[in-house]
A and B are shown apart, each in its own frame.
Chain A
Amino acid sequence: MMIRALESLQLAQLAFPSEMPDSVLAPYLFVSAAMFAIGLIGFLTRKNMIIMFLCTELMFQASGLALIAFGRHHLGSDGQTFVIFVLCVAAAEAAMALALVVLLFRHRESLSASAWKELNG
């Protein structure tokens, strides 16, 4: 069974991947949705600002998985191209967010999001 699974693995660099049925696409989407929701829950519940930004990265990751799965379903490369873009945005977001966190930490000596309650508009 393992051998058959290995053979069916379309890692082949030279063969163009064959069409992917719905029943194979669906589990990937389910994992992607679950990962997105876990990221959202983490963002809402944790108080540490670094963890909150880490959770946004998890949500990026989940959307990337969905993009690649849909791209594979359509036999195109657009999904992967968009994941490259998502990666760029994630990198930019990480740089900005971490600079901001360091700045805020130096002000209050705390990573708690509730240390900045007065920003609640």
Chain B
Amino acid sequence: MNCQPANLSGTLREPDSSPIDGVYERDTVEHIISPIALYLICALGAVGIALALPRQHHEHAKTLERVGAIALAAAFGLAALVLGLRASDSGSALPNIFFYPFAAIAIGAAVRMITHKRPVYSALYFIMTILASCGMYLLLSAEFMAFALVIIYAGAILITYLFVIMLATQAPTGEEDEMLDEVDAVAREPFLATAIGFVLVGLITSAMFTGIGHLPEPMMTQAQAADSVLAHLPKKIDKALDRAGVLEEGWRVARDHESGLAMIDVDAKTIEIELLGDDANGNETVLATRTLTGDQWPAELGADNLDRLGFNLLNDHPMMIETAGIILLMAMLGATVLARKHIELEEDLKAAQARKLGRMLEDTHPTARGAGGQA
């Protein structure tokens, strides 16, 4: 293992990171985080979550929750510190400073979601996790997905969850936890589950960080990637040129005759344009061409996130849209069939339900029973 941290810094990796006798040149977790620190952080987080999970009739439940929260915060801080120190050791770039609050909110809200005893609060904390991960999507320059996530997850899916929670649970009448259902108040096997979960985190992260060393290079450079989408969008280039006022009447971006791609070179900042007109026989033909160079390049010309995403979805993965349509149709049919089924409660359950209702009535209106008795 010939790990050279100095070469891994900020820049793109050398193209020769191919396997040499089955051994990759840089195949360790070491250059991202030391494994021992990783496992320590996982263990600390595991202890934190196990302590914070709900348990009833425990005299120190509140204190345990606080200790758990402190352990989790320590694990998060330690992880940020270790990752940051290792990165600055090798002189490589760190994530944007906004990453840290977003990550802290996402993980904190996720933990609160699984430890809160009231389902409604859990759902609200989940919305918080979603919003924080939207922030991370923005940092990863996936603007469209960030806003789609807010609309679809926070706006639609979670509202459905809230509706079902409110339909299917009785609101607790007091502030006391004793009023809660046993279902919500007690966790099942907290220590075992947490141990399994965090062994999984350790394994996933060490596998992923190991895998980072094996990631193939980006398939193209920044300019090529922008180029490949822009060339497919000649109309967009036309519009940008028009708006910048560099195009005279009748001129447009030159299209390649076979593929129809626009003749544009993002790297060299040159655009070929052509003048269309009728020839002697009345057929449309190219009368003249010329090349626009760097200083005439419109400042606002570029493929944005939405262009690239839409192009990728429709051009490279058309089958995905069909599949998604079938899945959604099936879900709609299934949900309708399941939800409209009429249920007859068994006799004893019915009696229990009636008793419960009677007790609730008695609690809220002490006179109701007397009035019922007289009638």
Contact = CB atoms under 8 A, between A and B. Distances in A.
A31 B312 contact: no
Contacts of A46: 114, 184, 187-188
A73 B103 contact: no
Given A50-B165, A57-B126, A73-B218, A41 B114 contact: yes
A76 B315 CA distance: 13
B352 to A, nearest CB: 8
Contacts of B157: 57, 90-91, 94
A19 to B, nearest CB: 5
Contact of A92 (B98, B308, B331, B345): B331
Summarize B's interface: helix, strand, loop or mixed. helix
Given A18-B222, A47-B188, A84-B148, A26 B209 contact: yes
A73 to B, nearest CB: 7
B138 interface: yes
B361 interface: no
B332 A95 contact: yes
Interface string B184-210: 101111100110111011001100110
B61 to A, nearest CB: 15
Contact of B212 (A25, A75, A101): A25
Residue picked from A13, A28, A37, most chain B C-beta under 10 Å: A37
Nearest to B217: A74
Nearest to A70: B215
A30 B113 contact: no
Contacts of B328: 88, 91-92
A109 interface: yes
B171 interface: no
Nearest to B79: A30
Given A31-B107, A44-B197, A81 B312 contact: yes
A50 B119 contact: yes
Given A23-B93, A51-B119, A96 B331 contact: yes
Summarize A's interface: helix, strand, loop or mixed. helix
Contacts, number: 323
Interface stretch (B244-252, B277-285, B334-342): B334-342
B316 interface: yes
Instruction: Give the interface residue-count category, chain A.
Output: 35 or more
Interface stretch (B3-11, B253-261, B362-370): B3-11
B181 A111 contact: yes
A33 B205 contact: yes
Contact of A35 (B129, B164, B181): B129
B54 to A, nearest CB: 8
Interface string B314-350: 0011001001100110111011101101010100010
A22 B92 contact: yes
A80 B265 CA distance: 26
Given A22-B212, A102-B339, A34 B189 contact: no
A106 interface: yes
23 contacts: A9-B138, A13-B305, A16-B222, A16-B223, A16-B226, A19-B222, A22-B13, A30-B83, A34-B110, A35-B133, A46-B187, A64-B149, A66-B208, A79-B142, A80-B309, A83-B142, A84-B324, A89-B324, A91-B328, A94-B157, A99-B339, A108-B349, A111-B169
Top 10 nearest A-B pairs (CB, nearest first) are A42-B114, A92-B331, A77-B312, A44-B193, A41-B197, A23-B92, A16-B226, A99-B335, A14-B302, A23-B87
Interface of B: 8-13, 31-33, 45, 49, 53, 79-80, 83, 86-87, 90, 92-99, 103, 106-107, 110-111, 113-114, 119, 122-123, 126, 129-130, 133, 136-145, 148-149, 152-153, 156-157, 160-161, 164-165, 167-169, 181-184, 186-190, 193-194, 196-198, 200-201, 204-205, 208-209, 212-213, 215, 218-223, 225-226, 299-305, 308-309, 311-313, 316-317, 320, 323-324, 327-328, 330-332, 334-336, 338-339, 341, 343, 345, 349, 352-353
